[in-house]
Structure 1
């Protein structure tokens, strides 16, 4: 499956839809898109992972880098819709303790709106 990334706004929240493989070849495009979202002034971000079939350590690095960047802007980050395979990567690396991961985009938006999404230091 080819990598794809797009974003749209839901109120003040940038919802970034990612599909395909997030790995060493696609991570730079993902990073550049996410940095662009922040540079546009959107510091509350939800990443929809429902169509991601693979995530490697390079992709994890992009997500953690985004979290750190958002923290410096008093922003927030929530992830949504990770498949079992992708969620296992977060669980194995214990990033489930640091990141807000929800089943649906609607739940992730609610977490961001309530201030429960992970941008504040744990």
Structure 2
């Protein structure tokens, strides 16, 4: 499995995966995601366009990352899941927990929008 990440903005990090996400490779993914979260990266877009195969331990890592992110007010969005990978999310009903966007850009934008709304809400004058 190949794992590459890029900080595309001050708050959003895109993690691009390629290959198989199984019991052996999920350990490395967990280390990368936990490292990003520990570094204060709380908005993660996971690009799964090049993931050929996924097993339950792999989705377990994603669920664990989502829980950690939510504890910090963050979120995780997926993109590009297709074939067996998309079917895995549908069968396990995890597609109801993880938004699966058609492109990495759509996933990035979905993470940026709540942050913008949050900033607007904080700077608005209080109602009298």
Aligned to 1:37: 36
Separation (CA, whole Å) in 1 of partners of 2:104 and 2:17: 12
Question: How far is the alpha carbon of 1:110 from its aligned partner?
Answer: 1.0
Separation (CA, whole Å) in 2 of partners of 1:50 and 1:64: 19
1:85-104 correspondence runs (5 A): 85-104=84-103
| Structure 1 segments (4+ residues) deviating >6 Å | none
Aligned-residue RMSD, C-alpha: 1.1
Separation (CA, whole Å) in 2 of partners of 1:82 and 1:107: 13
Normalised to the residue count of structure 1, the TM-score between the two structures is 0.90
CA deviations over 1:70-104 (Å, ceiling 9, x no partner): 01010011001112221110000111111111010
Aligned to 1:120: none
1:77-92 correspondence runs (5 A): 77-92=76-91
Gaps of 5+ in 2: 116-128
Among 3, 6, 28, the residue aligned to 1:5: 3
Aligned to 2:126: none
Aligned to 1:62: 61
Separation (CA, whole Å) in 1 of partners of 2:101 and 2:108: 9
Q: Which protein shows a greater Rg? A: 2
Separation (CA, whole Å) in 2 of partners of 1:71 and 1:95: 16
The answer to which structure has the higher helix fraction is: 2
